[in-house]
């Protein structure tokens, strides 16, 4: 194939990568099974087993992992597997369809979003069938309660989502004005409605177990000076408010930020399941930062599923170089590294397929090293260096907790799991942190100069 004919192929590959399909169903042609491992390495298999074997229908679980690891896709797989069992009905709802990712979360607003999202989901044809249409039905009573108790106007069954987002700021202010007694009452009523909805599911589907997963909460973030405040809210809700998040009759799964299990004591209080980055490197005790063949091949398979003709544009060693630079982060690989390489190559098609030594790869990697380097500041380097050396967190000061949360949020630090869990820096930071001179630890808000 001569070089001019590769333009349409570059466009097609770029279009596939730029148009993120979002969470995938297990029957999608793009879905890659066993991406994160099999058996005891499969976090979804462990979570499914925990759900199946519990008799406590008020159990809660935390599900964590960084953006780009495929959590939403894997939660869908969990629901599919659970729904294949006659005694279980599982639902996944996305919290960020109702609130923004900078929403000042508290336990009351989380329970309210959970109840609203569950009601919306049950209003769909495969929810409670014809029951939602009844004017005196459960979901109609719930929306009436939203109008009177929370003052969310113009809501209807199955149509709460748009109104909640539209009125989000005024709802936050209204909830903040509630005194403690009213807050406790509204939270109790939210839990009661969630329990009633679960009971309606059991009656409709003749099942024993109801599971509700609240997705995307790990994407909540603070901007600028609000970063520390958001960190404190997250810890207060998911560490300090565990008892309030339990719902009788429902096994609840809450997605939580990836820093939470490292910076709090939640592991001792809640069953926690962490979806790690794809293990493209060997564990530190085996061969520190050396390529793990199985992990690299799994990431290559992801590219293959999205665009089978990729080898006409980039040779396998070149793609493997980008895979290692991604640290096993799917989003960083697909939507940033590979996509940028294709854009750079578009006007230099005579160099295709790109080799691992091609200068185009170094141009792109240099750019992304600079970008992620700008997300941390120099007096944060000692914390990063400590993580790089020990592959764990060993903080000396409590004030460093929000800074480490920032590292997870911007993916300066990645988490892995292979029998044991370990941490490492994003590979794009390896050289910067290892060659930087020692400075005093950070004492400021994360991400600010």
The pLDDT value given to residue 438: 57
- 44: in domain: no
Question: DSSP for 223-261?
Answer: -GGGHHHHHHHHHHHHTT-HHHH--TT-EEEEEE-TTHH
Q: What is the pLDDT of residue 174?
A: 84
pLDDT at 126: 84
Residue 64, beta-bridge partner list? 256, 274
Of 373, 389, 407, the residue at which a domain comes to its end is: 373
Instruction: Of 105, 114, 190, give the one whose Cα is nearest residue 149.
Output: 190
Query: Could you tell me if 238 and 144 lie in one domain?
Result: yes
Residue 36 inside a domain? The answer is no
Placement of tokens 């009351």 in the chain: 108
Does 133 fall in a domain? yes
Closest CA to 150 of 173, 120, 134: 173
> Among positive and negative, which fits the CA dihedral 172, 177, 182, 183?
positive
pLDDT at position 107 is 94
Q: For residues 173 and 175, what is the distance between their CA atoms, to the nearest angstrom?
A: 6
Residues 130 and 270 in one domain: yes
How crowded is the C-beta side of 357, counted as CA atoms within 13 Å? 0
Q: Is the same domain home to 216 and 336?
A: no
- From 274, 301, 317, the end of a domain falls on 274
Tell me if 22 sits within 8 A of 215, measured CB to CB.
no
Say whether both 428 and 293 belong to one domain: no
- pTM (2 decimals)? 0.89
CB contact at 8 A, 329 and 277: yes
Residue 149 has a pLDDT of 85
Tell me the two tokens of residue 122: 């049950």
**149-153: Cβ within 8 A, 24+ apart:** 149/186, 149/189, 150/112, 150/174, 150/175, 150/186
State the pLDDT at residue 1: 42
On whether both 362 and 402 belong to a single domain, the answer is no
In a domain, 26, yes or no: no
Considering the domain architecture, whether residues 266 and 301 belong to the same structural domain is answered as no
pLDDT value at residue 329: 92
Does residue 242 contact residue 284 with C-beta atoms inside 8 Å?
A: no
- Determine, yes or no, domain membership for 306: yes
Q: What is the pLDDT along the chain (449 residues), one digit of tens a residue?
A: 444 579 999 999 999 999 988 888 888 999 999 888 888 788 999 999 999 998 777 899 999 988 878 899 999 999 999 999 999 999 999 999 988 888 888 999 999 999 999 998 998 888 876 544 454 578 888 888 888 888 777 777 666 777 777 777 788 888 888 889 999 999 999 999 999 999 999 999 999 999 999 999 988 887 777 777 888 899 999 998 899 999 999 999 999 998 888 888 888 889 999 998 899 999 898 888 999 999 999 999 999 999 999 999 999 999 999 999 999 999 999 999 999 999 999 999 999 999 999 999 999 999 999 999 999 999 999 999 999 999 998 888 888 888 888 899 899 999 987 667 899 999 999 999 998 765 454 444 444 43
Residue 421's domain spans which residues? 378-435
Structural domains counted in the chain:
3
Q: What is the pLDDT of residue 157?
A: 66
239 in the same domain as 114 = yes
Considering the domain boundaries, does residue 194 fall inside one? yes
Distance CA(88)–CA(81), nearest Å, equals 10
Residue 41 pLDDT: 83
Element (H, E) at 17: helix 6-18
Alpha-carbon distance values, 200 to 79, 163, 195, 196, 208 (Å): 18, 25, 9, 6, 11
Q: Is the domain of 116 the same as that of 220?
A: yes
> Is 210 inside any structural domain?
yes
Return d(Cα 318, Cα 184) in angstroms, integer.
Answer: 57
Q: Are residues 261 and 355 in the same domain?
A: no
Of 373, 394, 416, which residue is a domain's last?
A: 373
Does one domain contain both 257 and 392?
A: no
In a domain, 96, yes or no: yes
**Taking the alpha carbons of 23, 26, 28, 34 in that order, is the dihedral positive or negative?**
positive
238 neighbors 62 (Cβ within 8 angstroms):
yes
Same domain, 13 and 71: no
Residues 233 and 161 in one domain: yes
């Amino acid at each position: 194939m001569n070089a001019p004919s590769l333009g349409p192929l570059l466009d097609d590959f770029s279009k596939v990568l730029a148009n993120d399909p979002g969470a995938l169903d297990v029957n999608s042609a793009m879905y890659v099974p066993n991406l994160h491992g099999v058996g005891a390495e499969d976090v979804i298999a462990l979570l499914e087993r925990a759900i199946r074997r519990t008799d406590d229908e008020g159990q809660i679980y935390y599900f964590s992992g960084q953006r780009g690891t495929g959590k939403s896709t894997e939660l869908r797989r969990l629901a599919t597997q659970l729904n294949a069992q006659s005694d279980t009905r599982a639902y996944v709802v996305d919290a960020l369809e109702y609130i923004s990712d900078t929403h000042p979360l508290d336990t009351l607003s989380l329970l309210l979003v959970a109840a609203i999202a569950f009601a919306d989901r049950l209003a769909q044809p495969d929810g409670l069938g014809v029951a939602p249409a009844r004017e005196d039905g459960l979901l109609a009573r719930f929306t009436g309660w939203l109008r009177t108790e929370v003052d969310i106007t113009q809501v209807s069954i199955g149509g709460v989502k748009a109104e909640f987002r539209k009125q989000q700021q005024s709802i936050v202010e209204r909830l903040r004005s509630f005194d403690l007694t009213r807050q406790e009452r509204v939270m109790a009523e939210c839990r009661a409605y969630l329990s009633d909805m679960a009971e309606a599911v059991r009656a409709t589907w003749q099942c024993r177990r109801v599971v509700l997963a609240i997705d995307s909460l790990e994407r909540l973030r603070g901007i600028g000076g609000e970063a520390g405040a958001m960190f404190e809210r997250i810890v207060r809700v998911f560490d300090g408010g565990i008892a309030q998040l339990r719902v009788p009759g429902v096994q609840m799964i809450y997605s939580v930020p990836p820093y939470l299990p490292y910076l709090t004591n939640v592991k001792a209080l809640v069953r926690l399941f962490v979806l790690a980055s794809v293990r493209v490197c060997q564990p530190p005790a085996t061969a520190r930062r050396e390529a793990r063949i199985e992990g690299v091949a799994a990431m290559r398979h992801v590219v293959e599923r999205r665009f089978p003709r990729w080898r006409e544009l980039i040779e396998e060693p070149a793609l493997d170089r980008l895979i290692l630079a991604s640290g096993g982060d799917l989003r960083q690989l697909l939507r940033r590294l590979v996509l940028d390489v294709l854009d750079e190559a578009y006007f230099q098609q005579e160099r295709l397929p790109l080799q691992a030594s091609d200068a185009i790869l170094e141009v792109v990697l240099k750019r992304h090293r600079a970008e992620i380097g700008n997300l941390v500041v120099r007096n944060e380097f000692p914390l990063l260096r400590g993580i790089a050396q020990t592959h764990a967190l060993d903080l000396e000061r409590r004030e460093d907790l929000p800074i480490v949360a920032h590292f997870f949020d911007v993916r300066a630090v990645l988490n892995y799991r292979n029998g044991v869990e370990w941490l490492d820096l994003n590979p794009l930071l390896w050289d910067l942190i290892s060659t930087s001179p020692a400075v005093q630890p950070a004492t400021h808000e994360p991400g600010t100069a």
